Structure 1
Amino acid sequence: MARKIRKYSKGASKDVERAMKKRKAGTLKSGGSGRKVKSRKQAIAIGLSEARREGKKVPPKKSAKSSAKKSAKKASKKSTKKTTKKTTKKKSKKKS
């Protein structure tokens, strides 16, 4: 029988488990704003990102690839597209 290849290492799952316990206790905080994390999905994401930072076996973010492609497309469109605005001068009426 062939063994299944693990996508996530045991250490990575421990990090996620630790993040989930912190969320339950109410001590898990998000990195950017420092607010308490209430969402289960956000707690899992924090655990996985910590595991990635430590170099444990975790697949790369899928959203990061697609968003990078989208931002690259937008940047190339902006650089090729040149917009010129015509400015019109308003004539001021003189009172005499």
Structure 2
Amino acid sequence: MAKKAKKRKYSKGAAKKVGRAMKKRKAGTLRSGRSGRKVKSKKQAIAIGLSEARKKGAKVPKKKRSKKS
């Protein structure tokens, strides 16, 4: 049996945006949106990269919504 080709969850453009955000974080020049504070966590840098990719129209899964109880 031949293996089914796996579709990409994230496009190459999205990966580039995240990579750029990670490099900026490491250099200490990545700032968060509204407050303009310096980003220190890797998770936040990834989130910024993905949101930039979404704005550009790259293939990125939708944000996960939190459930309200």
TM-score (norm 1): 0.66
Which whole-Å CA distance do the structure 1 matches of 2:23 and 2:9 have between them? 22
Q: What does 1:1-96 correspond to in 2, within 5 Å?
A: 1-63=3-65, 66-67=66-67, 70=68
| Code of the aligned partner of 1:39 | S
Larger radius of gyration: 1
* Structure with greater contact order relative to length (CA < 8 Å, sep ≥ 6): 2
Aligned length: 67
Tell me the CA shift for residue 32 of structure 1. 1.1
Query: Where does the alignment leave 5 or more consecutive residues of structure 2 unmatched?
Result: none
TM-score (norm 2): 0.90
Query: Where does the alignment leave 5 or more consecutive residues of structure 1 unmatched?
Result: 74-96
Q: Which runs of 4+ in 1 moved over 3 A?
A: none
| Code of the aligned partner of 2:57 | G
